[in-house]
Amino acid sequence: MAAYTASVTVRLKPGVLDPEAETTERALERLDFDLEELRSADRFEIDMEADSPEAAAERADAMAGRLLANPTIHDYSVEVEPAEPAAGATR
């Protein structure tokens, strides 16, 4: 077993209206920023112990499928990296 951090990014499917992103975009424009389009996404970072990166990815994928994303409106992607040692953990 090893420690991994799985990052799950949940996005609206292309074509699904995102009124919050549109509102955020307008607020940035009101602050005089130039931009073409803004898309928002939710990102979940999940620390876990697993036998392999593949096993960690599979578990995170299942979490996204069962709860973190709603398949009617969302797509999601999963990335797995070895967990960073906690700060101050060295002796």
Partner 1 sequence: MIAVCQFGGSNCDRDAVLALRHLGFEAERVWHADGLPAEADGVVLPGGFSYGDYLRAGAMAARAPILREVCDAAERGVPVLGICNGAQVGTETGLVPGAFTTNASARFRCEHVHLRVENAETPWTAGFEPGEVLTLPIAHGEGRFEIAEDTLADLDDDRVLFRYCNEAGAVTDAANPNGSVDGVAGLLGEHEHTAVLMPHPERATLPDLGGTDGRTILRGFASEAEG
What is the C-alpha separation between 27 and 79, in angstroms, rounded?
Answer: 31
Q: Smallest distance, Å, CB 13 to partner 1?
A: 8
Q: Residues interacting with partner 1, by CB under 8 A?
A: 16-20, 22-23, 67-68, 70, 72-73
Q: Smallest distance, Å, CB 78 to partner 1?
A: 17
Nearer to partner 1, 3 or 18 (CB): 18
Sequence-ordered list of residues with C-beta below 8 angstroms from that of 9, at least 6 positions apart, any chain: 41, 42, 43, 76, 77, 78, 79
Q: Smallest distance, Å, CB 73 to partner 1?
A: 5
